[in-house]
């Protein structure tokens, strides 16, 4: 007749079971109580909801090993009751029971570690929200050392620990980011339907929820900009755009259109000492234009043949980019326009000026 094992909690409350277990380990349990404990231990591997403590599991395991070893050494000297008790199971079966218990205990410990790890991972996903309700910009330091200048009426949300493989922040409003370089963990800013991805640089993101446009402007380094949602009509994502210093894009969320351009007030990207030394005495205008490109990281397109005879005496450190271009173009009889991320200079040249 097959033996049907019934969970121990069916027969007694937890406190009663622990009391019987204590008597069993001390060798004071009745035959019925011993049979009950033996049955429970046989089914230990299948009962993952054991009410035993770690110490009780260890004591029970020790007791079984002691019984097996004692039988193997002195089995022939045991009383009839002890021999009969172990004979149907056999030494191999006894070892199997202990191994089941060990697997159960080990499995429990591993599960416990996994649970702790998952809990830590879950805690790392806890978001922290900071809202600037004041009238001046608020400086925020992120867990990785990055710095955010959060403008009024703006809100920033980010992971409290930044333990993930990538650093993610969510912005509603206007903020300037100075991101710590980390080649293994890209930094992503989610603003409405636009994602800005960098490794380490400084840039501004302006994306108020109630406004139709999202603006990303780069001060230093390089950023990658792309949308996070597909175009519902065309079912295609907008192409990724790489922005370099003094460049920006404006994304119209209604028309799903991206406009690329130069920022309103370009900043020099070279050390100020280097720029101060850039003085030109009767230098070719092509040399001056190339120097300006290096100072601001922008492309200046012009016809070198037409302007080859143009020479100027000037310095780049005086005034901003557009003020400097106004002076140069007036001197050589040219004009300039902005076409996306380029400055285009046009004119007849100095030979006819």
3-state SS of 317-330 is: CCCCHHHHHHHHHH
**CATH, domain 127-262, list 2.40.110.10, 2.60.120.1440, 3.40.50.300, 3.10.450.50:** 2.60.120.1440
d(CA 320, CA 266): 8
d(CA 26, CA 216): 75
Tens digits of pLDDT across the chain (353 residues):
444 444 444 444 555 666 766 676 667 778 777 777 766 655 554 444 445 555 555 565 565 556 545 545 555 444 444 444 444 444 444 444 544 444 444 343 333 333 334 444 444 457 899 999 999 999 999 999 999 999 999 999 998 888 778 899 999 999 999 999 998 899 999 998 899 999 889 999 999 988 999 999 999 999 999 875 554 444 445 578 999 999 999 999 888 888 999 999 999 999 888 888 888 999 999 999 999 999 999 999 999 988 989 999 988 877 889 999 999 999 999 999 999 889 999 998 886 54
Please check whether the domain covering 272-347 is classified as CATH 3.10.20.30: no
With b for 16 or more beta-carbon neighbours within 10 A and e for fewer, the 228-258 pattern comes to eeeeeeeeeebeebebbbbbbbebebeebeb
The domain segmentation of the chain, as residue ranges, is: 8-124, 127-262, 272-347
Q: Is the pTM of this model over 0.75?
A: no
């Amino acid at each position: 007749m097959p033996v049907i094992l019934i969970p121990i909690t069916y027969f007694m409350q937890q406190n009663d079971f622990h009391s019987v277990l204590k008597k069993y380990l001390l060798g004071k349990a009745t035959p019925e109580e011993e049979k009950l404990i033996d049955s429970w231990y046989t089914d230990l591997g299948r009962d993952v909801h054991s009410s035993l403590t770690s110490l009780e599991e260890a004591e029970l395991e020790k007791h079984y090993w002691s019984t097996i070893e004692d039988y193997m050494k002195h089995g022939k000297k045991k009383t009839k009751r002890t021999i009969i008790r172990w004979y149907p199971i056999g030494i191999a079966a006894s070892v199997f029971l202990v191994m089941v218990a060990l697997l159960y205990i080990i499995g429990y410990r591993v599960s416990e570690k996994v649970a702790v790890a998952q809990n830590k991972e879950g805690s790392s996903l806890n978001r922290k929200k900071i809202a600037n309700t004041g009238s001046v910009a608020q400086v925020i330091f992120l867990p990785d050392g990055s710095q955010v200048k959060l403008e009024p009426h703006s809100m920033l949300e980010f992971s409290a620990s930044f333990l993930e493989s990538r650093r993610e922040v969510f912005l509603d409003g206007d903020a300037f980011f100075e991101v710590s370089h980390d080649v293994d963990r890209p930094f992503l800013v989610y603003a409405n339907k636009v994602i800005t991805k960098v490794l380490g640089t400084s840039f501004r993101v302006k994306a108020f929820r109630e406004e139709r446009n999202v603006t990303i402007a780069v001060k230093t380094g390089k950023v990658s900009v792309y949308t996070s949602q597909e175009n519902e009509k065309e079912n295609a994502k907008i192409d990724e755009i790489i922005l370099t210093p003094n460049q920006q894009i404006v994304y119209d969320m209604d028309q799903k259109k991206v406009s690329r351009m130069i920022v309103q007030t370009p900043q020099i990207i070279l050390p100020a000492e280097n720029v101060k030394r850039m003085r030109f005495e009767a230098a070719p205008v092509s040399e001056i234009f190339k120097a300006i490109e290096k100072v601001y990281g922008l492309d200046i397109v012009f016809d070198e043949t037409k302007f080859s005879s143009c020479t100027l005496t000037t310095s780049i450190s005086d005034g901003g980019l557009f003020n400097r271009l106004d002076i140069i173009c007036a001197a050589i009889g040219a004009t300039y326009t902005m076409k996306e991320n380029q400055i285009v200079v046009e004119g007849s040249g100095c030979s006819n000026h």
